[in-house]
Structure 1
Amino acid sequence: MSERLRPRDLAFLATESTTPMHNAALEVFDPGDSGFDYDRLVSLIADRLAFVPRYRQRLQAVPGHLANPVWIDDADFDLGFHVRRSALPRPGSMEQLRELVARIASRPLDRSRPLWEVYFVEGLEGGRVAVLTKSHQVLVDGRETVDLGQVLLDTSPDVGDLGQDDDWRPREQPTPLTLALGALTDTVQRPLTAVNTLQSTGESVLRRLGAAGERAAEVAGTLSGRRTTSSSPIHQPLSQQRRFVAVRTALDDYNAIRRVHGGTVNDVILATVTGGLRAWLMTRSESLAGMRSIKAVVPMSVIDDELEATSLGTQIAGHVVQLPIAEVSPVVRLHQVSYAFQAHRDTGRAVSARRLAGMAGFAPTTFHALGSRVAADELRRGFDVSVTNVPGPQFPLYSGGARMIETYPVHPLLPDHALAIGVTSYDGGVFYGITADRDALPDADVLGQCLVEALDELKDSVSETRLRAPRGRKKATPKRGGRR
């Protein structure tokens, strides 16, 4: 029997009337002598698709909407449609690559096919290539289906022979009568099916009424000369187009800061985001007096049997924290962020970054996908921005024999949230991926630069602290300094 789409996932599809709800990951590789090219990537994906069978399935609606849509095998599955070749004018710069990523991220996926795409991008300066994977949120549930990017990476450049495709054959396509009878049977045998259908229908009606109400309010506000949207630069109506900003920093800097000031690497990253947002808002002449903090939701890995299990060995929960953007001192900002997370650590539910990154089969791309799902669930709590920080392996990974040298998450935007930030630490680097609405935040590049300057502020504070330390005496390491 085909698996039926859950109401939660159906809600993600309905949200796409205003914003594409897919996750993406941009990975930059150094092919070296590996021979990694488009054809080899196609062969690699053909080899690994058996590990993610959902990637060869599409959604099929049920006649009369008697039940939620079901996943069925795509009888016309075409790998060449999903794995695409692109190129930048040589030598392609990072700015050109970011613009290409923004255009691809702006386009919704074709719902008549399996909901994913992969782009192989050639022409980068230095002979590098990039791979952009793009998967819909309904595709990656973290239970049975992981992100395709998770199965394309190896810990060794030796991948063996490629091109050994499995013997997959699509199952027989269900007829409209079969789908209808299956819906009726599920309703009788599984009462929860009827509940899910009613829930999905009700949510769909409420979303349509809500959208109509918002449009009416906008018209009324326009006619009366009043603004109906928030004055915050982060809360804005979304267009269909995106901007993408990539920022690369060094993990050693974060470790040096936490050793002197305490806290964890996660605390330092969140303090850097806080300082970056503060400086960016100041460049826009925004008054911080009435905006003392920015409310962020930070998806975190926890041990909690009451939450939905994931294939990562933990559950994912949203932790809400106030980012103190009005605070002038970068060190005080760090201590305030660290204090906000200490309560979470003291619960005993938190999973350390080192343990999380060391779990068998763990991959940042899947965690980022789950993090964006958690952020969507937390909309009712009224946060300003989502920040998903994922600790990745501190050793090189390879795809088709080519070494991955950079990795940037590309998160979807939520309704009326013009900004989302993803962070991945990997092989000595900390990589920020900033997704922004193209019209609402035309200065997203400035935010990227402000993040770098905020980190520099914290680095300078380390030097100043060391200079102030009495001679002949080592500065004591804070108790929490050993945590990642």
Structure 2
Amino acid sequence: MQIVGVMVCNGRIDDERLRRTVAARLLRYRRFRQVIQEDPDGLWWIDDADFAIAAHVRRSLLPPPGGKTGLQNFVAELASMPLNPARPRWEFNVVETADGNSAIVIRIHHVIADGIALIGVIHSLTDGRADAPPQTGLPATEAGAPPTPGRGNANDDTGSGIWRTLFEPLVDLAQASLSLGGNLWGQYQGLRRDPAALRDYTSVVRAVAEEIGRLALMPGDTPTRFKGTACTIKRVAWSQPLPLAEIKAVGQALCCSVNDLLLAAAAGALRSYLVHKGDAVEGAEIRAMVPVNLRRAGDGEELGNHFGLVALELPLGSDNPLVRLYATRARMTALKASYQAMLTFALLGAAGMAPRYIEEQILKLLTSKTTAVMTNVPGSAEARFLAGCRIEQQLAWVPQAGDIGVGVSILSYNGRVQFGLITDRNMVDDPQWIADQFGREFEKLLWLALLETPERLLDPLLVADDVNALSKRHDAHAAR
């Protein structure tokens, strides 16, 4: 359960300056200097008495054949290896690429923080210009440190215990501007003032029970080669970056959000892969768990995990990209108006404090009905510099629990959008094919937005012939 990222930097990075930068800026978060200890009372964060920055920021050799393929193989190898539990669970590996540049492969265990928080943490390591003065020194405290020096519950990084785990999602949900009715919000405020009044709020209990019931009774999605028994070997791939301005313009023309557009393009790429392999796709729909950020505005660097999950069904059955796009938009709109993100957050938090068997059953329930995990994380809008080197490219991959074998990550940086894919070898041994197809699926939507009138775009069936012509042209281009 590690989040893996790559930063490709222009030129050779100075190892000593990088270590000083990481020591000064990353280690202000106490979690990065702590390990997890288990005893009869539970799991606890404790300070690592033997912590050494050199054990976490080090240089590695890029295996042959070098280049992008060598870097992908290196990232996949690291993604397949667990982090050392005897040390704080994170590391930076610096490798030199054949073109004279450097790449930094970052691994951070999900127990430390979620993707939104880590984007903020990594951003704090960087500067807006190459000649920014380096920082030195190790701060004594961490933002959000445990209340007891040297020891904090690993299941509760805020110190507020079961109360936050079960009910604070209501606050997070409201702050995230998701749908939380005024009546329910008033009930929550009353509950905070008088916890004993829980028995009076039957509507809250009913809403929770109904949503959990829907999750429990959720049918399995279409069996495809993307599902199976996971092994310990991963594959990673990434696409050529796409201009964010173009994506926004196409989204505006098609009356869709950037997120809807990118998710639909990902669905098209996955569908094309199944067709390429000769698999049946008629009526196929696969379910992806999509994380929803439940943090308050301004809490981007607060560590811990503060996200819910919504189960998005990706329409793979249609060969019409507009049909897939509009179906994705409608389903995401419905999910945003539901309690699902809030309740999965509370459910997973409660599962973490339940006996191990119950926790395993809840996770099994969620993962058995899911084919992929898909996330869309915004990075810096402008180019950044790390230890004096300009970051040219940023990539990230999300972990997958259980037998989920596909992880899709979409990350924006410096006006470009990067599509990344991590797969289990048993299910997809050649994810680069899917990554390359992602750009082609977006191009289909781009050409439709340019060539069709707004009236025709409202009805995907009106442009079916044009869609088929575009598909044939793209297939011929791919064959060459």
Q: 2: distance between equivalents of 1:144 and 1:255? A: 25
Q: 2: distance between equivalents of 1:454 and 1:103? A: 29
Secondary structure of the 1:99 match is: helix
Q: 1: distance between equivalents of 2:264 and 2:117? A: 35
Aligned to 2:308: 317
Aligned to 1:187: none
Q: 2: distance between equivalents of 1:114 and 1:433? A: 26
Please report how far the alpha carbon of residue 98 of structure 1 lies from its aligned counterpart in structure 2 after TM superposition.
0.8
Aligned to 1:258: 251
Aligned to 1:28: 8
Aligned to 2:211: none
Please report how far the alpha carbon of residue 92 of structure 1 lies from its aligned counterpart in structure 2 after TM superposition.
4.0
Aligned to 2:277: 284
Q: 2: distance between equivalents of 1:129 and 1:309? A: 27
Q: How does 1:272-421 map to 2 (within 5 A)?
A: 272-291=265-284, 293-302=285-294, 311=302, 316-344=307-335, 379=366, 382-421=369-408
Q: How does 1:83-482 map to 2 (within 5 A)?
A: 83-88=57-62, 92-125=66-99, 127-140=100-113, 148-166=121-139, 231-250=223-242, 251-291=244-284, 293-302=285-294, 311=302, 316-344=307-335, 379=366, 382-465=369-452
Q: 2: distance between equivalents of 1:159 and 1:450? A: 39
Please report how far the alpha carbon of residue 232 of structure 1 lies from its aligned counterpart in structure 2 after TM superposition.
2.3
Contact 1:396 1:403 survives alignment (8 Å): yes
Q: 2:333 is matched by which residue type in structure 1?
A: Q
Q: 2: distance between equivalents of 1:110 and 1:438? A: 23
Contact 1:140 1:147 survives alignment (8 Å): no
Aligned to 2:55: 81
Please report how far the alpha carbon of residue 445 of structure 1 lies from its aligned counterpart in structure 2 after TM superposition.
1.9
Q: 2:38 is matched by which residue type in structure 1?
A: A
Contact 1:275 1:454 survives alignment (8 Å): yes
Q: 1: distance between equivalents of 2:58 and 2:50? A: 17
Contact 2:370 2:404 survives alignment (8 Å): no
Gaps of 5+ in 1: 1-20, 169-173, 184-189, 197-229, 351-374, 470-484
Q: 2: distance between equivalents of 1:452 and 1:83? A: 34
How big is each residue's C-alpha offset from its partner over 1:212-271, in whole Å with a ceiling of 9 and x where there is no partner?
Answer: xxxxxxxxxxxxxxxxxx952122111111100011322133123112211111111011
Q: 1: distance between equivalents of 2:274 and 2:334? A: 28
How big is each residue's C-alpha offset from its partner over 1:321-342, in whole Å with a ceiling of 9 and x where there is no partner?
Answer: 2211111211221122122223
Contact 1:297 1:378 survives alignment (8 Å): no
Gaps of 5+ in 2: 142-147, 154-159, 167-221, 342-361, 457-480
Q: 1: distance between equivalents of 2:251 and 2:162? A: 49
Q: 1:319 is matched by which residue type in structure 2?
A: V
* TM-score normalized with structure 2 length: 0.67
Specify whether residues 159 and 377 from structure 1 end up closer, same or farther in structure 2 by C-alpha distance, changes over 3 A only: farther
CA RMSD of aligned residues (A): 4.0
Given the alignment of the two structures, is residue 56 of structure 1 paired with residue 33 of structure 2, yes or no? yes
Instruction: Give the % identical residues.
Output: 27
Specify whether residues 81 and 348 from structure 1 end up closer, same or farther in structure 2 by C-alpha distance, changes over 3 A only: closer
Q: 2: distance between equivalents of 1:24 and 1:332? A: 33
Please report how far the alpha carbon of residue 415 of structure 1 lies from its aligned counterpart in structure 2 after TM superposition.
1.1
Please report how far the alpha carbon of residue 344 of structure 1 lies from its aligned counterpart in structure 2 after TM superposition.
4.7
Please report how far the alpha carbon of residue 44 of structure 1 lies from its aligned counterpart in structure 2 after TM superposition.
0.8
Please report how far the alpha carbon of residue 418 of structure 1 lies from its aligned counterpart in structure 2 after TM superposition.
1.0
Contact 1:28 1:129 survives alignment (8 Å): yes
Q: 2:259 is matched by which residue type in structure 1?
A: N
Q: 2: distance between equivalents of 1:377 and 1:403? A: 43
Secondary structure of the 1:36 match is: coil
Q: 2: distance between equivalents of 1:45 and 1:81? A: 12
Aligned residues: 366
Aligned to 1:13: none
Q: 1:267 is matched by which residue type in structure 2?
A: D
Please report how far the alpha carbon of residue 110 of structure 1 lies from its aligned counterpart in structure 2 after TM superposition.
0.9
Q: 2: distance between equivalents of 1:312 and 1:322? A: 30
Q: 2:396 is matched by which residue type in structure 1?
A: P
Out of 9, 15, 18, which is 1:38 matched to? Answer: 15
Q: 2: distance between equivalents of 1:191 and 1:452? A: 45
Q: 2:225 is matched by which residue type in structure 1?
A: P
Contact 1:295 1:384 survives alignment (8 Å): yes
Please report how far the alpha carbon of residue 29 of structure 1 lies from its aligned counterpart in structure 2 after TM superposition.
1.3
